[in-house]
Amino acid sequence: MTTELPSDIKPTSSKILLEKPSSDWLPPGLALQKVDERIMTLNVGPQHPGSGHMRLIVQIDGDYIVACDPDPGYVHRGEEKMAEYRNYITNIPHLERPVIHDSCNILYPYVLGVEELLGIEVPERAKYVRVIAAELNRCIYIMYWLAIYGIFLGHSTMFMWPTGDRELLIDLMEKMTGARVTHSHFIPGGVRNDLPSNFEDVCLRQVNYFEKRIKEYAAVFYDNPILISRTQNTGVLSRQDAIRLGVTGSVLRASGIDFDVRKKEPYDVYDELDIQSIVMKEGDAYARSKIPWLDMLDSCNIIRQALQKMPKSGSVRVKLKPNPKGKGFDTVYKRVESGRGSLGCYIVSDGKPEPYRLKLSVPSFRNLIALPYLLKGEKLGNMPSVYWSLNYWPVEADR
């Protein structure tokens, strides 16, 4: 009982599909391509145990990846647009939401930039408090990253151990700032609160214990032959390619380039502390997964040094005038080393209480460009280990 369509109403869908698409505005994966019977296209994500909040359009030939097209933007919340409607102080809580478990570090360049715009000099003790908070946050971030890396590789112990141990440092941050993950602790002019009374002792004790714990991870994870066979010589990024693609952070240092913003362009008091920047030559997924762990051991060192050198008393904030604003048209670009790499903040001020334009140059977005190159020629089973070794946090990349 097929009903005849009137002749003037044609089903248009097939016609539209057969037209040559203007490839500029088509979403990834929907552009018509020449079909090869050997090539299969897989959509990995956004609902997939190995993808996170993004989609990877992977083309495979048998078991080998031919091409990969990342499709981020599932958490694009318009932070930069919203920042133009809020003043410099009320921007603080929502600018840390892209990486809530690294919230001090993502606020750091913004706060440094606003301080430069306003011409504020921060008290010495506040600088040390900031460094301690930033390093604790780096550890908290890397522990979560490591836990998810364990999940991606099917290593459940490596999910349970880091998520349990990072609670130690979360407790410290909670003691210091009052919040578990979203601290909003850094403000232009210092930090919000002084340290609680016996913080130094508790911090030293917990950091020492934490260091002892994470040293044990080598036995269960980094020396594990299964992990080594899955990650070594997988997704190799050569030194030249790393420079060309402009990757940052642990991805860059795993490819043999010694670049750490804390060391190269020290901010606050990092020039008074002894920082190792860990460099490995291999450039494979194993090196990329090991460097954050070594960074954590280094962070414990930095925290101990900072606790020792910190002035025992003094003010931790400069009182600001209400509704601070920049003086005339000015631009500032500040960068810090976050848990994922160099994180920059570009602020254009036009003398109003709100920024004229605010841009977060986030390391996840910069590292994402390497993914298609690393996955080409890899086996599909190695995709999660390469993908998460890029130290990539999709919420931050999308902003």
Stretch 163-182 residues interacting with another protein (CB under 8 A): 163-164, 166-167, 170, 180-182
Residues between 131 and 170 with contacts to another protein, criterion CB under 8 A: 144, 147-148, 151, 159-160, 163-164, 166-167, 170
17 contact partners, CB below 8 Å, separation of at least 6: 32
C-alpha to C-alpha distance for 14 and 201, rounded to whole angstroms = 71
Is the separation of the CB atoms in 287 and 254 below 8 Å?
Answer: yes
Binds another protein by CB under 8 A, chosen from 11, 18, 19, 119: 119
> Both tokens of residue 225?
């032959």
**For residues 228 and 243, which CB has a smaller minimum distance to another protein in the complex?**
243
Stretch that binds another protein, among 6-14, 47-55, 203-211, 309-317 (CB under 8 A): 47-55
Residue 398 sits in the site that holds another protein (CB under 8 A): yes
Residue type, 305: Q
Concatenating the DSSP letter of every residue in 294-320 gives HHHHHHHHHHHHHHHHS-SS---BPPP
Residues between 3 and 42 with contacts to another protein, criterion CB under 8 A: 23-28, 30-31
Residue 225 sits in the site that holds another protein (CB under 8 A): no
Residue 348 sits in the site that holds another protein (CB under 8 A): yes
Residue 72 sits in the site that holds another protein (CB under 8 A): yes
Site residue total, another protein (CB under 8 A): 85
**CA–CA distances in Å: residue 288 to residues 9, 23, 44, 246, 282:** 58, 35, 22, 16, 9
Residue 376 sits in the site that holds another protein (CB under 8 A): no
Binds another protein by CB under 8 A, chosen from 98, 235, 292, 384: 98
Sign of CA dihedral 263, 269, 272, 275: negative
> CB of residue 27 vs another protein: minimum separation in angstroms?
4
Binds another protein by CB under 8 A, chosen from 32, 82, 218, 226: 82
Residue 257 sits in the site that holds another protein (CB under 8 A): yes
**For residues 11 and 78, which CB has a smaller minimum distance to another protein in the complex?**
78
Residue 185 sits in the site that holds another protein (CB under 8 A): no
Is the separation of the CB atoms in 343 and 104 below 8 Å?
Answer: no
